[in-house]
Amino acid sequence: MPETGESENDMSTLAAGIQYFLDNPLVLALMFLGVFFGIVFGAIPGLTAALAVSLALPFTYGMLPQEGILLLIALYVGGISGGLTSAILLNIPGSPASLVTCFDGAPMAKQGRQGEALAIGVFASLLGGLFSAVALILIAPQLAKVALVFGPWEYFTMGIMGLAVVVSLCSQDLVKGFIGAIIGLLIASVGMDPVSGVSRFTFGIWQMDAGLSNLPVLMGLFAFAEILTQLSSLRQKYNILSLKGMRVLPKKEHFTPFVPTYLLSAVIGTVIGILPGVGQSTASLLAYNEARQISKHPEKFGTGCEEGVIASEAANNAVCGGALIPMMTMGIPGDTVTAILLGGLVVHGMQPGPLLFSTNREIVGVMFVTYILSNIAMFILMMLLMKVFIRLLSVPMRYMFPFLLLMCMVGTYTVNNRLFDTWVLFVIGIAAYILVHCGFSLPPIVLGYVLGSIIESNFRTAMIGANGNVGELFTRPIALGLLAVAVLMVAVPSIKRAKERKKTKNEEHGTYG
């Protein structure tokens, strides 16, 4: 049980965030604007939440830290929620987070129940987001206190565990997943060694001595690579179903019987969000499978079942709050979008981690309150402006992508006024595009880059403190536990795949023998 003083400190953090909004009511307009554009990016196929946040990041540099972080979180929430619109009406997920929503949302729309599906999906998104908001407020301060006892060995193994989790869960091919993580680590190691002062991987280019700036690298990985990927769909036209029977709230028969599905999916999404780098797609799929297991009518899944839409949308939105927990408390992103948010905190002069809760209490409070209000704003905007978002689905991509590309270039150039950063954007974006088309997953590369400095700096610090004795790692139980989780996360999927290959081989021998 936390002491009374600790509880009061936790509440004072939330109160500081509320007070900021009361003192600055105009920031609500900025938050609604962020949620609106987030929904737009989420709703239009090819424009994702990661793209929205990465494009907005350079434009937050001129804002106060509270305003910049507020805008990015609002875009995050709106971008993840907006994907259900095209998933239901087009059977094309507006963002990867809504992929599983297509399984039952699109069949419901084809049955003439598109309004019903949209209402259920938006409501499930709201509940999932609010559930994870409560978890964020309750868990993050406590986890920050635990993280205060972490030393270099613990942070090093935490980074290794984060990479292991994302490689095992986000990569169909473990070897390519490991290679992607190593590529990310190599990008992070470009520049001058912080300990010895030796330049690494600079190839004689003096602009690289200080390393690669976060912004052009992240925008190259997310925005530029995504624009290149979507070029093939520039002239694609969609047959959009009209909106019928849209309700502000789902009917009672679409809520009361499915309360266990709402809660279970929100829990799964929050827990998956806390795991570094896993993301919304995995959470939605796990929640969907679990909902089918507890359903009284599992045979209806995939044919237009309300529970399928509920499970997917409650889980993918709950991931957002869960993903903010490790990002804020340990400086380790819970998903790819929080990797960009992490960069946003750093460029505004804040260091994510346990000290954030004591040195920047108002910022933490603003993040808590913003996340809650953004979910409510998302619900209001999607209920009131759903027809507007549906009309945006018909906007030709050939008009939109040149504008987005221009925003990428302007954003990267204006931050440091260096043309070199624009070249970094192009090179990283083209390389990421090639890697994705060669079967590599982007999350391991992104997490390798984001966690690279954490892993290296803490390992070097730990080794210096131990006089080069790596055996000290085995005297740290928390570090050993995290390392054991990392090994299990890689070993278990490998063993399962080996068994499946052996079973398939035996079946083939049995068939043709």
* Chain segment 19-29, per-residue pLDDT in tens: 999 999 899 99
Residue 393 per-residue DSSP state: T
167: Cβ–Cβ under 8 A, 6 or more apart, which residues? 174, 177, 178, 180, 181, 444, 489, 490
The pLDDT of 337-347, averaged and rounded, is 81
Q: Is pLDDT of 34 > 90?
A: yes
Query: Which residue in 362, 333, 339 sits closest to 66, CA to CA?
Result: 362
Distance CA 61, CA 428 (A): 22
Q: How many residues does the chain have?
A: 513
Distance CA 360, CA 351 (A): 9
Please tell me the predicted confidence (pLDDT) of residue 171.
58
Q: Which residues pair with 192 in a beta bridge?
A: 199
78: Cβ–Cβ under 8 A, 6 or more apart, which residues? 34, 35, 36, 37, 38, 39, 40, 41, 42, 49, 52, 374, 377, 378, 381
158: Cβ–Cβ under 8 A, 6 or more apart, which residues? 150, 276, 330, 332, 454, 482
Please tell me the predicted confidence (pLDDT) of residue 234.
59
The pLDDT of 204-209, averaged and rounded, is 83
Please tell me the predicted confidence (pLDDT) of residue 277.
65
Please tell me the predicted confidence (pLDDT) of residue 2.
45
* 8 Å CB contact between 267 and 259: no
Please tell me the predicted confidence (pLDDT) of residue 235.
61
Q: Is pLDDT of 67 > 70?
A: yes
The Cβ-side half-sphere exposure at 215, using a 13 Å CA radius, reads 27
Q: Is pLDDT of 104 > 90?
A: no
pTM of the predicted model, to two decimals?
0.81
The pLDDT of 240-256, averaged and rounded, is 64
192 backbone dihedrals φ, ψ, rounded to 5°: -80, 135
Please tell me the predicted confidence (pLDDT) of residue 72.
93
Please tell me the predicted confidence (pLDDT) of residue 169.
66
199 backbone dihedrals φ, ψ, rounded to 5°: -75, 140
Determine the 3-state secondary structure of 70 from DSSP.
helix
Using one digit for the tens of pLDDT, what is the confidence trace for 2-21?
444 455 566 788 888 999 99
User: Per mean pLDDT, which range of 59-63, 138-142, 380-384, 432-436 is the poorest?
Assistant: 59-63
CA distances from 238 to 31, 39, 90, 283 (A): 30, 18, 7, 28
Using one digit for the tens of pLDDT, what is the confidence trace for 428-456?
989 999 998 888 888 788 888 888 888 88
Query: Which residue in 111, 493, 83, 87 sits closest to 320, CA to CA?
Result: 83
Please tell me the predicted confidence (pLDDT) of residue 132.
93
Q: Is pLDDT of 350 > 50?
A: yes
The Cβ-side half-sphere exposure at 319, using a 13 Å CA radius, reads 33
Q: How confident is the model at residue 167 (pLDDT cuts 50, 70, 90)?
A: confident
Distance CA 212, CA 35 (A): 30
The pLDDT of 492-506, averaged and rounded, is 74
Q: Is pLDDT of 55 > 80?
A: yes
What is the Cα 443 distance to its own chain's centre?
10
Q: How confident is the model at residue 486 (pLDDT cuts 50, 70, 90)?
A: confident
The pLDDT of 458-485, averaged and rounded, is 87
Please tell me the predicted confidence (pLDDT) of residue 369.
94
CA dihedral 178, 179, 181, 186 (to 10 degrees): 140
Please tell me the predicted confidence (pLDDT) of residue 337.
84
- If one counts every other C-beta atom within 10 angstroms of the C-beta of residue 358, the result is 13
* 8 Å CB contact between 315 and 287: yes
Using one digit for the tens of pLDDT, what is the confidence trace for 145-161?
887 788 888 888 888 88
Please tell me the predicted confidence (pLDDT) of residue 180.
87
Q: Which two tokens stand for residue 43?
A: 């709703």
* 8 Å CB contact between 157 and 486: yes
For the chain, what percent of residues have pLDDT higher than 90? 17
Please tell me the predicted confidence (pLDDT) of residue 10.
64
Please tell me the predicted confidence (pLDDT) of residue 172.
67
* 8 Å CB contact between 310 and 316: no
- If one counts every other C-beta atom within 10 angstroms of the C-beta of residue 453, the result is 17
